[in-house]
């Protein structure tokens, strides 16, 4: 017969063994639960990373034009946008560029008044009359040169403008008014500044640069070759594109090729006369907007077309081998007197 104490010891051992097994089982269940939780967290993180990557890819696909433009602007062109403080320091005739490669050189033009149009004594078209006084209350900036192929190509590389060929420091040609607006909108977008086409009054004010004569240098056509490319000195040498910019003498504001080289689109709708024209230098945004104004003449033009008052209107989709444009820029940090 087994002693009672021996039976009790066996029972106690069995009880302890059972408790140890239960604890081990509990630990295994707890460990398995923790592993499952860890696996679930890892899986959730992976899903989040995957969704984020897909979202980035989707955004990149949707914003590829914007990303391309930003790369072109920040890396290839090396932006250097003026701060408000820098703008305030710019005196009339100061020059600036807002990127190292591809941006037009701009010149600050002072506020002022002038007589727009041609006098009765000038052999001119009726669309240049009546003469009228215009007051530009604030300074603005204007391209020192016509926009060149190199500058245009920066917009092409960003995916914002159509390719037109050639290249180099000659004025971009074969561009419509609508093309010029796209270029100005692109440059405004990447700089955060208001680049635009000039108004017709701004153009003539800048071209005259304080003069009241047929050309900014006077009335004598014999002197035209010193200041402009036109039919008399360039037609057979430069076709099918115009001469390089900046090779002729500048006017009193430091602007080149305001006479000749290529016709320049401006903002205004075309009118057959100046009856009712704005007197504040703003664009004439009413009238025959099926046509927009071209100024300045071209390398294939006769001297009369290069006069400061000469003007024509063409459809905004029209393109030609003698048509380009020059940019304007609003100076937001200046007042009517020139600086704040």
pLDDT above 70 for 340: no
The secondary structure element, H or E, covering residue 87 is helix 84-88
Report pLDDT for 321: 93
- Per the model's pLDDT, the better-predicted residue between 91 and 340 turns out to be 91
Q: What confidence category does residue 72 fall into, taking pLDDT thresholds of 50, 70 and 90?
A: low
Report pLDDT for 21: 63
pLDDT above 80 for 237: no
Question: Domain residue spans in the chain?
Answer: 1-62, 65-330
Place of tokens 């433009």: 69
Q: Please tell me the distance from the alpha carbon of residue 234 to that of residue 83, in angstroms, as a whole number.
A: 41
Mean pLDDT over the full length of the chain: 87
Mean pLDDT on 306-328? 97
Beta bridge partners of 196: 328
Place of tokens 């009517």: 336
Is 174 in a helix, a strand, or coil? coil
Mean pLDDT on 186-199? 95
The 3-class secondary structure across 124-147, one letter per residue, is CCHHHCCCEEEEECCCEEEECCCC
pLDDT above 60 for 233: yes
pTM score, whole prediction: 0.79
Mean pLDDT on 193-208? 98
Q: Domain 65-330, what fold?
A: 3.90.1580
Percent of all residues in the chain with a pLDDT value above 90, rounded to a whole number? 66
Mean pLDDT on 126-132? 96
Q: What confidence category does residue 64 fall into, taking pLDDT thresholds of 50, 70 and 90?
A: low
SS3 content of the chain, % helix, strand, coil (to 5): 40, 15, 45
CA atoms within 13 A on the CB side of 115: 9
Q: Please tell me the distance from the alpha carbon of residue 250 to that of residue 258, in angstroms, as a whole number.
A: 8
Q: What confidence category does residue 143 fall into, taking pLDDT thresholds of 50, 70 and 90?
A: very high
- Per the model's pLDDT, the better-predicted residue between 62 and 271 turns out to be 271
110: its two tokens = 């002072």
Q: Please tell me the distance from the alpha carbon of residue 273 to that of residue 288, in angstroms, as a whole number.
A: 12
Cβ atoms of 182 and 173 within 8 Å: the answer is no
Is 99 in a helix, a strand, or coil? strand
| pLDDT tens profile 256-303 | 999 999 999 999 999 999 999 999 999 999 988 999 999 999 999 999
Report pLDDT for 107: 98
């Amino acid at each position: 017969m087994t002693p009672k104490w021996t039976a009790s010891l066996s029972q106690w051992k069995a009880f302890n063994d059972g408790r140890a097994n239960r604890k081990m089982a509990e630990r295994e269940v707890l460990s398995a639960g923790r592993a499952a939780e860890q696996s679930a967290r890892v899986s959730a993180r992976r899903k989040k990373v995957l969704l984020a990557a897909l979202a980035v890819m989707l955004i990149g696909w949707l914003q590829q034009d914007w990303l391309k433009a930003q790369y072109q602007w920040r890396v290839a062109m090396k932006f250097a946008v003026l701060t408000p403080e820098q703008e305030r320091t710019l005196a009339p005739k100061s020059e600036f560029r807002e990127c190292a490669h591809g941006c037009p050189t701009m010149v600050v033009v002072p506020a002022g008044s002038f007589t727009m149009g041609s006098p009765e004594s000038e052999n001119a078209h009726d669309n240049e009359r009546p003469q009228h006084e215009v007051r530009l209350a604030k300074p603005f900036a204007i391209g020192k040169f016509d926009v060149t192929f190199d500058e245009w190509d920066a917009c092409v590389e960003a995916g914002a403008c159509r390719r037109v060929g050639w290249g180099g420091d000659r004025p971009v040609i074969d561009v419509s008014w609508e093309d010029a607006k796209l270029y100005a909108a692109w440059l405004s977008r990447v700089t955060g500044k208001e680049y635009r086409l000039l108004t017709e009054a701004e153009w003539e004010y800048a071209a005259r640069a304080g003069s009241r004569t047929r050309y900014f240098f006077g009335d004598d056509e014999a002197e035209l070759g010193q200041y402009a490319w036109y039919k008399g000195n360039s037609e057979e040498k430069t076709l099918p594109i115009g001469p390089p910019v900046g090779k002729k003498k500048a006017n009193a504001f430091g602007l080149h090729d305001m006479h000749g080289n290529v016709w320049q689109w401006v903002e205004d709708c075309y009118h057959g006369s100046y009856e009712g024209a704005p007197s504040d230098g703003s664009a004439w945004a009413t009238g025959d907007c099926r046509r927009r104004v071209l100024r300045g003449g071209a390398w294939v033009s006769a001297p009369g077309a290069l006069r400061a008052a000469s003007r024509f209107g063409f459809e905004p989709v029209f393109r030609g081998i003698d048509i380009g444009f020059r940019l304007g820029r609003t100076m937001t940090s200046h007042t009517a007197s020139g600086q704040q």
